[in-house]
Amino acid sequence: MSKILDELKKGRVLVSDGAWGTFLHKKGLKAGECPEMWNLEHPDAVFEIAQSYIAAGADMIETNSFGGSRFKLANYGLEDKVFELNKSAAELSRKAAGADRFVLGSVGPTGKLLIMEEVTEDELYDAFKQQSMALEAGGADAIVIETMTDIEEARIAVKAASENTACEVFCTMTFDKTVDGQYRSMMGISPTEMTETLIGAGASVIGANCGNGIADMIGIVKEIREVNSSIPILIHANAGMPQYCDGETTFPETPADMAGRVKEIINAGANIIGGCCGTTPDHICKIHHVVKSL
């Protein structure tokens, strides 16, 4: 089977999937419940999410393993289930993706801060190694390290995944706009600073996820392209920023709103486009149609 990079080298723009977290909550996941436990307790629901994105036209889908590091699972007393929960996450997405679509094993931040000495570099490396290997064992084609804000944690995660698996390793960070219009992660990292560090650690695709709607992601893509003209860029944009109404939060951007920006973000240099919080199979379907028509 060909790798994602081979497809990109042919000049193709690929479509990724949409939200998992907000989708799981729609299916009944309670706040405070461990999302990864659903891989064992509600595998049908997790499979349905994966399958709905495949049906929408995604070339690749993620896995329900964002909080699957031992540090995050420890919040629920599940730190000894890292292998089982991540492997099952990858298996469920693999089953939905079949042989001709790709599976991206999702790895999120640990929530532990190196700078506060809450964790050591070695402990982070071990945790990311363990999670990545379990995702590979379940059939992931690539590992996507995402929602990172600390460049050191991101670098260690990329290194751990690329040194211990045969998977392609992707990494996306989360940026906000500062008061003077610059993009910076919570820890102060710019897309420019991120680029060479992540590539040096072994990432073959980099980009941004969460924190912004697709319109603000365009500026991030342009900034990465200014410092590197060839590294493939992956964008998972939110469906805008959350709004609160009648006891629930909603995301304002419709599938048509997002699809309307797809050409612009591809022209800026993006190679893989999908969604983050608030995006649905409908969003992905509309994005797929735009990409197909190009």
Partner 1 sequence: MNEILTQLSDCIEFGKINMASPYPPQMKGQEGADELTAKALAEGINPQDVLTLGLMPGMERIGLKFRENKVFVPQVLMSAKAMSTAMLHLKPHFLSGAAKQKGTFIIGTVLGDLHDIGKNLVSMMVEGSGYKVIDLGTDVGSDKFIAALKDHPGAVVGLSALLTTTMVNMQAITKEIKDAMPGTLITIGGAPVNEDFCNKIGADSYSADPQGVVEFLNRKLAS
* Residues at the site binding partner 1, with contacts judged by CB under 8 A: 21-22, 25, 30-32, 75, 111, 113, 115-116, 149, 178-180, 182, 184-188, 241-242, 244, 247-249, 277-278
**Separation CA 206–CA 220 (nearest Å):** 11
Provide the minimum distance between the beta carbon of 144 and partner 1 in the complex, in angstroms, as a whole number.
20
**Separation CA 243–CA 236 (nearest Å):** 19
Provide the minimum distance between the beta carbon of 179 and partner 1 in the complex, in angstroms, as a whole number.
5
Q: Which bin fits 127, alpha (ψ -120 to 50), beta or left (φ > 0)?
A: alpha
> Closer to partner 1 at the Cβ: 116 or 294?
116
> Closer to partner 1 at the Cβ: 71 or 102?
71
> Closer to partner 1 at the Cβ: 109 or 281?
109
Provide the minimum distance between the beta carbon of 111 and partner 1 in the complex, in angstroms, as a whole number.
7
Cα three-residue angle 16-18-20, rounded to 5 degrees: 125
Of the candidates 21, 16, 17, 15, which has an alpha carbon nearest to the alpha carbon of residue 242? 21
- Phi and psi angles of residue 53, each rounded to the nearest 5 degrees, phi first: -75, -35
Provide the minimum distance between the beta carbon of 3 and partner 1 in the complex, in angstroms, as a whole number.
34
Provide the minimum distance between the beta carbon of 78 and partner 1 in the complex, in angstroms, as a whole number.
13
> Closer to partner 1 at the Cβ: 35 or 269?
35
Non-local CB neighbours of 152 within 8 Å, separated by 6+ positions: 114, 121
> Closer to partner 1 at the Cβ: 133 or 208?
208
Provide the minimum distance between the beta carbon of 186 and partner 1 in the complex, in angstroms, as a whole number.
5
> Closer to partner 1 at the Cβ: 53 or 183?
183
